[in-house]
Amino acid sequence: MTGSSTTLSRVTIAENQAAVNGGGILADGVMTLENVTISGNVAVSQGGGIFSDASLTLNNVTLDGNRARSTAQGPAILVNTGTTRGSNTAIGPHQRFAFAPGDPPVLTCRAIAGSLTSLGHNVRDPAEVASCFFGDPGDSGGTISFGPLQLNGGQTRTHALLSPGSNAAVDRGNPATPLDGSNGRCGATDQRGQPRPVDGNRDSRSRCDAGAFEVQPNEGGGGGGGAGAFSVQASTHQAQPGQPVVLSFGWTVPSPEVWRASTASTSGCWTSADSRSSSCAGPRPATATSSWTPPAASWQPGCPARRPS
C-alpha cells in the first residue's frame, strides 16, 4: 500500500509471505491500523509483520508469530523511514528464521532511519527484546497467552486472550475516555465488534485490553474469565411454616484466581457480594450455607413444586 492515506479496521492479515520485505504489510504514505490482527506472516528479508516507509499509527493491534530472515531483523515491525506510533498494542512471540554465531539479539521491532514512538499502554511478551514502542510509563511486559488464530465471533479470525486472570494484555489498555480510538485511547469495540471496556481479570475495575481482542464475560478458556460453577442443595428434612430449610451453596473457584470476600468471619469469607479484596483473611470456602423459610405450606424434599426457586 503505497502513496496513499489508508485506514485498516477489523481485519486480519495472516499467513502471507514476501520474497523481500513486508510479509504482512508493506506500507508507504499515511496508514492507520485499528483493531487489526497481524499473524504468521513471513518476510524473506525484513519486516515479517510490517515493513514501513510510512507515517503509521497502530491502535489495539495484535502482532504474533511473524518471522523475518535478515540480520536487520524486525520480525514484527521494521521501520525503514517515517514514524510508527503504537498504543494499546499486544506483541507476542516473533522470530528470525535462523541464528548464526555472533548474530545480534533479535530486535522484534526495529527502526533503521525512521522512529518507533509509544503513545502508551503497549504490552510485549517477555520472550521479546524490549524494542517495540517502549518508553512510555504505560507500556509493560509480561506473559501474553494467545489462543490459536480462529473465528472467535465476528467476521475475521482473531487470537483470543486466554487465562485472563494472569494474562499481561488483559485490562492493560489505556483507561482514558472517551473510547474513540484517538490520541492513544482504546476504541469502543474490539475487532469482533464486542464492547470495551470489560473487567476481564475480575479485579472490579473495567479497563480495555491491549490488542485487537477484548475478553468478554465467561471468555478466556476457564482461566479466570468466568465466575465459576455454582450448585445448590437443600437439606433432606421436612419443614413446617416458620421453620428454616438449610441450603448448601457450592462454588468452584475459577482457576487460576484465589477469590476473597470483603470481610472475614468464623464461617469463612463467603458473601452474597461477589467481590475480591486483600482485606479478607483467607480464600473463600468451597461451600457455604444459608436458609429459606417456607411462606405458607410445609416443604418436603422430593416435591419440586414447593422447592425454593
Residue 182 clears pLDDT 90, i.e. is over it? yes
In which band, very low, low, confident or very high, does the pLDDT at 305 lie, cut at 50, 70 and 90?
very low
Which of 12-16, 27-31, 216-220 is the least confident region?
216-220
Distance CA 264, CA 251 (A): 17
Higher pLDDT among residues 103 and 196, named by residue: 196
* Residue 204, pLDDT score: 87
Which of 68, 174, 180 minimizes the C-alpha distance to 118? 174
Residue 273 clears pLDDT 50, i.e. is over it? no
Distance CA 221, CA 284 (A): 22
* Residue 1, pLDDT score: 58
* Residue 239, pLDDT score: 72
Count CB-CB contacts under 10 A for residue 177.
10
pLDDT more than 70, % of the chain: 66
Instruction: Give tens-digit pLDDT for 142-165.
Output: 999 999 999 998 899 999 999 888
* Residue 104, pLDDT score: 62
Going by C-beta distance under 8 Å and a sequence separation of 6 or more, which residues neighbour residue 140?
Answer: 121, 122, 123, 168, 172
Q: What is the largest CA-CA distance in the chain?
A: 85
Alpha helices by DSSP H, listed for 62-142, are none
Which of 36-50, 68-82, 103-117, 258-272 is the least confident region?
258-272
What's the rounded mean pLDDT across residues 157-178?
Answer: 93
Residue 274 clears pLDDT 50, i.e. is over it? no
Higher pLDDT among residues 258 and 29, named by residue: 29
Residue 238 clears pLDDT 80, i.e. is over it? no
Residue 179 clears pLDDT 50, i.e. is over it? yes
* Residue 220, pLDDT score: 64
Residue 282 clears pLDDT 50, i.e. is over it? no
Instruction: Give tens-digit pLDDT for 36-89.
Output: 999 999 998 989 999 999 999 999 999 999 988 876 678 889 999 999 999 999
Residue 299 clears pLDDT 60, i.e. is over it? no
Higher pLDDT among residues 95 and 299, named by residue: 95
Distance CA 5, CA 46 (A): 23
The residue whose grid cell reads 485490562 is 171
* Residue 218, pLDDT score: 77
* Residue 275, pLDDT score: 35
Interior angle at CA 304, CA 301 and CA 306, nearest 5: 80
Residue 271 clears pLDDT 50, i.e. is over it? no
Q: Note every long-range contact of 136-139, with CB atoms under 8 Å and residues 24 or more positions apart, other chains counting.
A: 138/174
* Residue 148, pLDDT score: 92
